[in-house]
Structure 1
Amino acid sequence: MSVQKQVLKTLWQCFERKSKEFLRNTSLQGLKYVWNNELPGWVQFYFAKVFIVAVYVAINLAVNVFHKWQSTPVIIGTSPTLTPIQDIPFPAITVCSMNKAKKSFVASFQNGSVKHAMLQKACNQDFDYARFSSFKPRSKSNTFANFIFNISHKCDEMIVSCKFGQKTLPCTDLFREIFVDEGLCCIFNFLHPYYLYKHSDSTLRDYTSSKGLTDIAVDWNPIEGYPKHLPAGYYPRPGIGIGIYNGLQIVLNGHTDEYYCSSTNGQGFKVLLYNSIDQPRLKESGLPIMLGHETNYRIVPNSYEAVQTIRKIDRKRRQCIFSDEQELIFYKYYTRRNCEAECDALYFIRLCKCIPYHLPLIYRNATVCHIENFDCVNRAELTNVDGESTACKELCLASCHDVTYFPNPFSIPTIPFRHEGVSFQNDYFKNFSADFIINNLAIVNFYHDNDYFRSHVRSSYTGLTEYMSLTGGIMSLMFGFSVVFIGELFYFIFLRSLFDYIQNWCQKRRNRVNIEYVHQAYDN
């Protein structure tokens, strides 16, 4: 027999001896029967097969737990603590007239003129703007935004009566004009531009504080909430209480005799309820308000929070972003809607070298789209050429901390005004005939129906402790695996061998010393 075969045989005998010793003494269930030669062969085979099946099943279950951990790192639960509506702002509300231009103002526009061409854009009508491709405004103030402002109904014309918390207030102290995707609209309880934007925008004007009131603009965000010290009167205003009389009631005048073109197939208004720091998008989400009716919107707040431990999870896996993790160009606070608005602005800049008047002016020197850009803007609105805007929006994940508002779909009845013997609680209606009221006016109530609500909390689905508990439980259930078994493996593979080697080496050294001593004694 060659030396190599002899070495291999010796190693195998050593491995076999140590394996039998390990299996006879291990804490794993069933293995001590596998190498017990005192048992019949079929018993050894039976326990070996049972052990292999148990290991196979345990590994599959443990892999499933790992995949669950990887695919669902965050779970959304319900907060055990109730949040009072006074801790969050009453929703920001935007009201837009479906009429895009006052008939008396635009009736004199001549066909083919610059004003007539801009009017077609305001009314979303098909028009060939090619001959205006080299048009240059006479002054910087001659912008499409100013044109929209001049032809549209102002807030004091649209919103004619306002009550908030049983107090009748001047509507100009509650609403201010703002440009959105539906044109010039009226906005309530929106965060002051100083706190919302990183730099000023000349098209944003704050009419919220007038001479009659001393309301002070304060900062608010979903993470920190309101400042600790608040003035006597401030906005964004928080919720007061429940019921219509503790909410916001507005009377709208549709001015149907002034209708020139509508954003829909009818007359009336659009309304949107949203977060005070969000970019409103009426075209996508606006709800209709019918003239000649009273409409009630019962507010359902929905709040999201996140525990700090999920910061360690990659944002793509947790599918949300903390405000300080992604800085926006124009907005101070990150929200998904603000991020998507900036994506749209970047898309138009790249394609048309300008930004539509209702989108955030992300660069101070950016050009607001005017009539010479309308052909390009129309193409960009219809077709996303290379998917750039969509790709950008895919990175706009939801905010980890957010507040949203929903009008309860089961509590938005529209109550028609009576044709005869009209009697109203609101004194404003006393000055008008029944026909005028039915054709032009609408009442809208926004109110909470509950003093408290529960937040949704994003937390880790399984942390390291939970993962070890789940996998450890599976392994222990299947074949008795434990941390002690790992200690046994380390002992038999490393410590035992090392101890045997040291012991043999010491024994050989003692033997050499004894032999040398005997030889020295014999020589003497």
Structure 2
Amino acid sequence: MEVLKYVISDSNLPWWTKLYFTIIFALVVLVAVNLAVGIYNKWDSTPVIIGISSTMTPINKIPFPAITVCNMNQAKKSKVQHLKPGSVGYAMLQKTCYKETNYSQYMDIQHKNETFPNFILDISEKCSDLIVSCTFNQQKIPCTDIFREIFVDEGLCCIFNFLHPYYLYKFKSPYIRDYTSSDRFADIAVDWDPITGYPQRLPSSYYPRPGVGAGITMGLQIILNGHVNDYFCSSTNGQGFKVLLYNPIDQPRLKESGLPVMIGHQTSFRIIARSFEALPTIRNIHRTKRQCLFSDEKELLSYRYYTRRNCEAECDSLFFLRHCNCIPYYLPLVYPNASVCDVVHFECLNSAESQIFDVMSSQCKDLCLTSCHDLIFFPDAFTTPFSQKDVKAQSSYFKNFSSDYIRNNLAVVNFFHTDNYFRSSVRSAYTGPTEYMALTGGIMGLMIGFSVIFIAEIIYLILFILTMLILVMF
């Protein structure tokens, strides 16, 4: 800046020298402004950067993943083979088995106080029959003490390590099963969320259970019995099971995301935990810019804790409520007095299910941004078949059956962590006011010697010129 002042004010310099330095100054200012605008645009377009936490998180500070297990068999043959076409039960069976049927003919049939959820509960395999052996952290545990029945989009399934409904939902639903109904249940339900974690004071035995250690022996092993001879209809084109690993405060959706488990095989799921954290400084950035929501920024209708999956589940509930004036049994009741869909709604449900991705539903889900604090589990599965000869397994449960029965009906599933520690991903501001001023000031200072003093000089020069003009005019 001093060079430019000297060149302009020195009348002894030739004109071409003044022109040369004036052109150079203009080019340098143009480059400096262009670079400064580039920094601003980058800060405006990507205000949040995701980095890796400098500290390791032990797996015993987070819950073991919630696990839902479903039998692909939607109905037990022994329970439904007596149903006759034209009856309400037959209509419910067709819906359970995903059969194409004209349900309008059943709308005027009188009900016998049997609702669709109760029908599914009656014809589905119970958890005590499906999951026949459970071992967690090398301890044999009665499966009925750690698995509870839950309604999901695959029907009646079994769930492990899910947050107790008292902590998860804002009001009680008639179809939320009690997780502590067993007299032998030793674990005490506690609250947990990704921001505050577990309470400071914990009982000796509680759930959601935390991770214990790495390796198969420190994880969960279950033995599943498919009871193939009692198959009636399958949710897929084969026999077997579906499992899903997820955050204990999330709404499980098995139909599209469930992972297959084959009968006659041992399937192991290596669990890779990944958590997301966010610094409080990004709260000042608009949610559409940072693309995540803090749990207190969006209140859900039925869930106490915000997650993207819970928000999308409520969008589906509102969609069905708007189209059919009822909510399917596997979705959250967004209003305590909302009706659960039954036979009279089946025709409307079929139509609505084909329109679930319409504009209004998509607009609702577009507002369901990712949680700024979240916990996700990525399962890495590998499968090995049982021996084709005599099956020799460590579990004492296998001793009660022949090798043919084991290969045709049973499956062993292992869930375990691969590491004792993991690193969280941290969302932080890409540049704050200090960093932005430092970057911009560095460029401007390098190019044209710009400084805060120079701004004061410009203001002084403008005021001086205006004063002189005023004096000349008057």
How many residues matched?
473
Moved more, 478-487 or 187-196: 478-487
Aligned amino acid, residue 486 of structure 1: I
Q: 1:441 aligns with which of 381, 398, 410?
A: 410
In 2, the alpha carbon distance for the partners of 1:385 and 1:249 equals 38
Give 1:454's aligned residue.
423
Cα deviation, 1:371-394, whole Å, max 9, x if unaligned, reads 111111111111248521111000
Do the aligned residues in 2 keep the contact of 1:31 with 1:48 (CA within 8 Å)? Answer: no
Give 2:280's aligned residue.
308
Displacement of 1:475: 1.0
Give 2:194's aligned residue.
222
Structure 1: 5+ residue stretches without partners = 1-26, 505-524
Moved more, 460-469 or 199-208: 199-208
Q: 1:269 aligns with which of 216, 241, 255?
A: 241
Give 1:95's aligned residue.
69
Give 2:458's aligned residue.
489
Do the aligned residues in 1 keep the contact of 2:86 with 2:106 (CA within 8 Å)? Answer: no
Q: Which secondary structure state, in structure 1, belongs to the residue aligned with residue 235 of structure 2?
A: coil
Give 2:433's aligned residue.
464
Q: 1:167 aligns with which of 128, 139, 142?
A: 139
In 1, the alpha carbon distance for the partners of 2:178 and 2:16 equals 89
Cα distance 1:209–1:146, how it changes in 2: closer, same or farther (>3 A)? closer
Q: Which secondary structure state, in structure 2, belongs to the residue aligned with residue 30 of structure 1?
A: helix
Give 1:425's aligned residue.
394
In angstroms, what is the RMSD of aligned CA positions? 1.8
Q: Which secondary structure state, in structure 1, belongs to the residue aligned with residue 443 of structure 2?
A: helix
Q: After superposition, where does 1:343-492 map in structure 2 within 5 Å?
A: 343-384=315-356, 386-408=358-380, 412-492=381-461
Displacement of 1:340: 0.4
Give 2:172's aligned residue.
200
Cα deviation, 1:37-76, whole Å, max 9, x if unaligned, reads 2111111111111111111111111111111111101111
Displacement of 1:496: 8.2
Give 2:124's aligned residue.
152
Give 2:257's aligned residue.
285
Give 2:83's aligned residue.
109
Displacement of 1:202: 1.1
Give 1:191's aligned residue.
163
Do the aligned residues in 1 keep the contact of 2:267 with 2:413 (CA within 8 Å)? Answer: yes
Do the aligned residues in 1 keep the contact of 2:228 with 2:239 (CA within 8 Å)? Answer: yes
Cα deviation, 1:291-330, whole Å, max 9, x if unaligned, reads 0000110100000000001111111111000001111000
In 2, the alpha carbon distance for the partners of 1:264 and 1:424 equals 29
Cα deviation, 1:251-286, whole Å, max 9, x if unaligned, reads 000111111111111110000000000000111211
Cα distance 1:205–1:483, how it changes in 2: closer, same or farther (>3 A)? same
Give 2:266's aligned residue.
294
Structure showing the higher strand proportion among its residues:
2
In 2, the alpha carbon distance for the partners of 1:29 and 1:203 equals 81
In 2, the alpha carbon distance for the partners of 1:266 and 1:279 equals 26
In 2, the alpha carbon distance for the partners of 1:130 and 1:28 equals 88
Q: Normalising by the residue count of structure 2, what TM-score does the alignment of the two structures yield?
A: 0.97
Aligned amino acid, residue 173 of structure 2: D
Percent of aligned positions with the same letter in both sequences? 60
Cα deviation, 1:400-454, whole Å, max 9, x if unaligned, reads 000010112xxx2211111213211111101100000000000000001111000
In 2, the alpha carbon distance for the partners of 1:321 and 1:199 equals 23
Displacement of 1:132: 2.1
Do the aligned residues in 2 keep the contact of 1:296 with 1:444 (CA within 8 Å)? Answer: yes
Displacement of 1:497: 6.5
Do the aligned residues in 2 keep the contact of 1:34 with 1:47 (CA within 8 Å)? Answer: no
Structure 2: 5+ residue stretches without partners = none
In 2, the alpha carbon distance for the partners of 1:246 and 1:260 equals 36
Displacement of 1:494: 2.4
Cα deviation, 1:64-103, whole Å, max 9, x if unaligned, reads 1111111101111000010000000000000011000001
In 2, the alpha carbon distance for the partners of 1:339 and 1:432 equals 45
